[in-house]
């Protein structure tokens, strides 16, 4: 194995290690967010307003009616993205099922 290949393997090993350390550190927070259940309509509405339905950073930059650049949704880079979306979904379900509210305003 050449020196260059060994160095690139070591670098990827370091990133792999850091990724797993970060995952382990965030696991308790993920579990806590997943365990939150909404039992109050006011809190559920606040959660639905706080967490957007779609990524606010995604954009199409247009010039003369043609798309020049597409900026992808950056929210998926957030390591807690799935938990926040799940929390929002549970709040929406609470409002629709338990409170009988029309949730179209939050979608």
Structural domain of residue 101, as residue ranges? 3-106
**Could you give the C-alpha distances from 68 to 30, 54, 57, 62, 79, in angstroms and in order?**
37, 22, 16, 5, 29
pLDDT band at 55 (very low <50, low <70, confident <90, very high): confident
Residues 50-79: what's their mean pLDDT? Answer: 87
Location of structure tokens 């260059």: 4
pLDDT for the residue numbered 1: 47
Q: How many structural domains comprise the chain? A: 1
Q: Would you say residue 27 has pLDDT above 80?
A: yes
């Amino acid at each position: 194995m050449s020196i260059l290949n060994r160095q690139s393997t070591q670098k990827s090993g370091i990133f792999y290690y850091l990724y797993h350390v970060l995952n382990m550190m965030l696991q308790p927070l993920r579990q806590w967010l997943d365990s939150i259940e909404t039992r109050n309509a006011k809190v559920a509405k606040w959660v639905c307003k706080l967490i957007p339905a779609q990524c606010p950073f995604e954009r199409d930059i247009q010039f003369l009616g043609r798309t020049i650049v597409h900026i992808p949704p950056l929210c998926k880079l957030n390591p807690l993205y799935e938990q926040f979306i799940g929390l929002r979904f549970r709040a929406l379900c609470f409002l629709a099922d338990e409170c009988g509210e029309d949730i179209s305003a939050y979608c």
